[in-house]
C-alpha cells in the first residue's frame, strides 16, 4: 500500500517564487486537510523546481491539485510510494 506522495513541478522561467506561494497557499492547506497526514516537506530545486514529499499513516496519498498553467514550464508529476525505512544520522 502506498503511503507517501512525491509531487514535483518545474516553474515557468522566473516564476519559482510565484509557484512556491501557490504551493503554500493551496497545496499545503489541501495536505493538512487530509486525514492521517504524518509529515510533509517542501523543497526548492535547480531549474526552478518545487517538490513536495508527504507521508500518511496507513492512508493512500491523495493527488494534489494542479497549479495554474501560467506558473508551469511543464505539467506536474505525482508519484505514490510506499515508505520503507528512515536513515538516521
Exposed / middle / buried, residue 12 (Cβ in 10 Å: 0-12, 13-18, 19+)? middle
Read off the pTM. Answer: 0.90
In total, how many domains does the chain have?
A: 1
Q: Is residue 45 part of a domain?
A: yes
Find the CATH number of the domain harbouring 55: 3.30.70.100
Q: Give the domain extent around 35.
A: 4-63+71-81
Q: How does pLDDT run along the chain (89 residues), one tens digit per residue?
A: 789 999 999 999 999 999 999 999 999 999 999 989 999 999 999 999 999 999 999 778 888 999 999 999 999 999 998 888 888 88
Exposed / middle / buried, residue 69 (Cβ in 10 Å: 0-12, 13-18, 19+)? exposed
Q: Is residue 10 part of a domain?
A: yes
Q: Is residue 89 part of a domain?
A: no
Q: Is residue 88 part of a domain?
A: no
Q: Is residue 86 part of a domain?
A: no
Amino acid at each position: 500500500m502506498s503511503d507517501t506522495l512525491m509531487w514535483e513541478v518545474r516553474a515557468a522561467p522566473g516564476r519559482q517564487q510565484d509557484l512556491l506561494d501557490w504551493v503554500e497557499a493551496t497545496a499545503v492547506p489541501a495536505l493538512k486537510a487530509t486525514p492521517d497526514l504524518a509529515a510533509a516537506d517542501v523543497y526548492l530545486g535547480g531549474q526552478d523546481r518545487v517538490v513536495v514529499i508527504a507521508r500518511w499513516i496507513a492512508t493512500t496519498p491523495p493527488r494534489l491539485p494542479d497549479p495554474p498553467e501560467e506558473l508551469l514550464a511543464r505539467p506536474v508529476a505525482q508519484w505514490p510510494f510506499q515508505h520503507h525505512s528512515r536513515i538516521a544520522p
